[in-house]
Amino acid sequence: MIDSASVTTVLLADDHAMVRAGIERLLSAAPGIEVVGLAANGDEAVALARETRPEVVVMDLSMPVLDGVGATRAILAEIPETKIVVLTSFMDRRRVAEALDAGAVGYVVKDAEPEELVRAVRSAVRGEMPLDPRVTRALIEGAPTVAPADAAELTDREREVLVLVTEGLANKLIARKLGISEKTVKAHLTRVFARLGVADRTQAALWARDHGLVPGPPSSS
């Protein structure tokens, strides 16, 4: 029997009743997961999150009244400790970036194996960023066609990771310094590289210096 203290509470938001029912059955059957609310649109998700304060919200992106991105921002503004895992059929870079920029920590595609969603929920609770490999590829492959980001477009955490990269810290040390997992550091770096249109840590460090995030080398004059 599972101790109630170890149970992860989950709110599910999706505008299709059959999809909601199927995902509810999937998650409720998983040991250690309790579905505490079902929402048919973003507004309902925000209201239910306020009422139930779930540890994880499984969030569809395309919903009426308020979409998943707007609902994600609204929930995290009130309950920042909640983890948002997107579950959607969209894999294009723009949609992925919008969801992650809004604060989602995970992104699962609806044609994934059912167990992938269960793993993503558990991973999010551990402080990791569960991203479908196809989503990661979309971020990386889309980067060359996107104009380089301005420094202001990076999130606070992305800037923190980027600054530590310029200091030469390995992912394990960055994770220790920021109190996050190494997988989370890797996920942040994937997003940073994609947003900046760079291919590696060296290019990212040069970008950071060029844009004033860290001091440049001293002048020889």
What's the pLDDT tens digit per position in 93-107?
778 878 887 888 889
Distances, alpha carbon 97 to alpha carbons 109, 169, 171, 192, 216, in Å: 14, 26, 22, 11, 29
Instruction: Give the mean pLDDT of the chain.
Output: 84
Domains of the chain (ranges; CATH) run 4-139 (3.40.50.2300), 148-210 (1.10.10.10)
Reading the block at residue 19, the tokens are 């999809």
pLDDT tens digits for range 64-94: 999 999 999 999 999 989 999 999 988 777 7
* Over residues 183-187, mean pLDDT: 84
pLDDT over 90 (residue 167): no
Task: Report the alpha-carbon distance of residue 155 to residue 188 in Å, rounded.
Answer: 10
The answer on pLDDT for 217 being more than 60 is: no
Whole-number percent of the chain with pLDDT over 70 = 87
To 10 degrees, what angle do helices 201-210 and 182-196 make? 60
Band (pLDDT 50/70/90 cuts) for residue 140 is low
User: What is residue 221's predicted lDDT score, i.e. its pLDDT?
Assistant: 37
Using DSSP's 3-state secondary structure scheme, residue 181 falls into: coil
